Each structure stands twice: as C-alpha cells, then as structure tokens.
Amino acid sequence: METTRKVQQTGGSTFIVSLPSKWARENGLKRGSELILEEEDGNILIRGRSAEHKEVVKTINIEDEVKDRNLLQRTMTSFYISNFETLIIRTKGHMKPDLREEIRRFSKVVMGVEIFEESANSIVLQNVLDSATFPLNNSVRRMSLNVETMLADVIEGIRKKDLELLESIEKRDDDVDRYQWYIYREVLKGGQGDASSTFSLILSRILERIADHAVNLSKIWSDAAGSVEEGTEGITGFLGTAQTMYREAITAFYSRTYANLNSIINRKDDVIRLRSELLKDRSIKDIYTKAATLEEISRIGLYATDIAELAMDLILSEQDAIKI
C-alpha cells in the first residue's frame, strides 16, 4: 500500500501526519495506542507494538544417508546467508555420529550459530549473534586484515621454506570465509542500513578470491619447498609488489582517498610485464612451480586493481562533483 499525507504543524514545533484508516484498523489501533518509530537512512518506519516478530525457521530433512557432505555444508551455509534464526536438521532414523560432527563443525565455522537442542534424530541450531554489536564495516576490515596477513606469511614462508607457516595459511582461510558469509547475510537482510553495503559485499568477494590465491600459493610451495633452491627472490619480490598494491587499494577504499587510485589501476600492465619477465627467468628449474606461482601472484595483483576501481566507484557515488 502506498499513499501520501500532508504534514500539519501544531504548537510551533510539533509535526503531525494522519495514518491511513485501513492500516490503523488492521493493526488494532485506537485512541492512546503506542507506535514504534524507527529511523533508517533518513526515512521513518512506523509499526504497531502489537506487530509480532515472525521467527525465521529453516528445516533440512535428510531422507537417506548423506553421501556428499559438501552438499550438506553448502545447504546449511545458504540457509545461514538467508538469515535463519533457527535451523532444524532432521533425519529419518537415528542421526549418525559423523553427521552430527559435520553439523557441529558448521556451527563453529559460521559466526554466531550455536547448537540449541539435540535429539536422537535431530539437531537444532540457533543464530544468537546480534548484528547491531558487530557492524558490517568491522567485519570487512577484519577480513581485509586477515588477507593481508596471509599474503605477508606466504612471502615469509617461501623465503624461509617454513612449511608450518605455509600450512597455517590454509586454516586461516576459514576465518575469511566466515566473515564473507556474515557479510552476505547482513547485506541480504538489509539489517545494517549503510549505503555502501553493496560495495562492501563486492569487496568481500574480491577478498575471498585473494585469500584463495594465497592458499594456492601456500600449497604450491609446501610441495616445492625441498626442490626449489634458487630464484625465490624474484618470486617473493613479485608477490611483495602485489601485496603493496593490495594494501594501497584497501587503504584508499577505507579512507575514501581518490588521488592515488588511478595510478594503482594503471599498474595492471606492470603486473603482466613482471609475470612475463619472471617466466623467462631460468634460475627456477621447476617449470610447473614457476608457472603456477606466477599465475597466482598475477591474479592477486589484478584483484588489487579491481579493489582500486571499486574504491573509485564508491567515492564517486558519494560525490556530486570532483576535480581531476
């Protein structure tokens, strides 16, 4: 229903707007009834106190044995992004211990979900995180910091042939995924009325891709640490360049700094040139390791320029005019 009302003024400072009679009747309003006014992005949302919150309940009914556990994880993740408050996973017969463990693992991977109740054939999960206490911007910043740390540790792991450090990067990718799913959920439900939330969502996707490339690099060099003795300086130098581009682009995104963005975007050609030069470098004899590594690093560098372009789009969306 859409209608218009004229604003009236009484007493010099009080503004009055009449409510549609049909809406008032449907919500049981009478003289003296209280209404709740919520302000969001300059708009006022009016609702009656009698309006009951409808809990978002999702259910997964497992008919047979789950052969593809990834399907179960993806299904639970999709329901999480759709912002369930209660998720019921139910089996036909007794739930097997390994299936229970899969569900417990999911509750630990995503943010704010806990096991509320268990029975012989079901587990009930509840989302207990109040998004008001964890703003969208905070989750994006933590996500980007995790990614930068992962890149720094890949460089250190390659330099020192530190297998333990390289292996730890894959585990930290779970944290990046956790933040991204939370960001998806918050933007989808519109619970945090930040006009830049769409840009945060796009950024989170880019950050997740960069983290994946960091994991790929850690795997490549975990396998190659014993066989590659020379040429790592060029590799780590190239990755250091990509990391610097990433850091500058992220800083510009958060600080809304327009001046340096074009220079970062224009470094796409530098990324391609460095990759070509290092492909010709014969100091690394392992062709597969060299080619695979350079592909992953070049993707990171190009994603950094994507962040710079996204930052420019964000900054200009908030401006009416700008000097160039």
Residue 290 has pLDDT above 60, yes or no: yes
Of the listed ranges 17-26, 90-99, 170-179, 196-205, the least confidently predicted one is 17-26
Homologous superfamily (CATH) of 132-317 is Phosphate transport system protein phou homolog 2; domain 2 (1.20.58.220)
Helices (H) and strands (E) counted in the chain, each on its own, are: 10, 8
pLDDT at 238: 95
Residue 134 has pLDDT above 70, yes or no: yes
Of the pLDDT bands very low, low, confident and very high (cuts 50, 70, 90), residue 5 is: confident
Residue 164 has pLDDT above 60, yes or no: yes
Give the pLDDT mean for 28-34: 74
Task: Kindly report the CATH number that applies to the domain delimited by 57-127.
Answer: 3.30.110.20
pLDDT at 231: 65
Angstrom distance (rounded) from CA 262 to CA 84: 41
Of the pLDDT bands very low, low, confident and very high (cuts 50, 70, 90), residue 39 is: confident
Residue 13 has pLDDT above 80, yes or no: no
Residue-range domain boundaries for the chain? 8-48, 57-127, 132-317
Give the pLDDT mean for 214-218: 96
Q: CB of 83 within 8 A of CB of 188?
A: yes
pLDDT at 149: 95
Angstrom distance (rounded) from CA 281 to CA 191: 52
User: Which residue type does 324 have?
Assistant: I
Does an H or E element contain 234, and which?
helix 232-255
Q: Give the distance, in angstroms, between the CA of residue 210 and the centroid of all CA atoms in the same chain.
A: 12
Residue 25 has pLDDT above 80, yes or no: no
Of the pLDDT bands very low, low, confident and very high (cuts 50, 70, 90), residue 49 is: low
Domain 8-48 has CATH 1.10.150: no
DSSP, res 37: E
Q: How far is CA 121 from CA 60, 63, 85, 96, in A?
A: 12, 11, 20, 9
Give the pLDDT mean for 240-261: 93
pLDDT at 194: 56
pLDDT at 50: 54
Of the pLDDT bands very low, low, confident and very high (cuts 50, 70, 90), residue 41 is: low
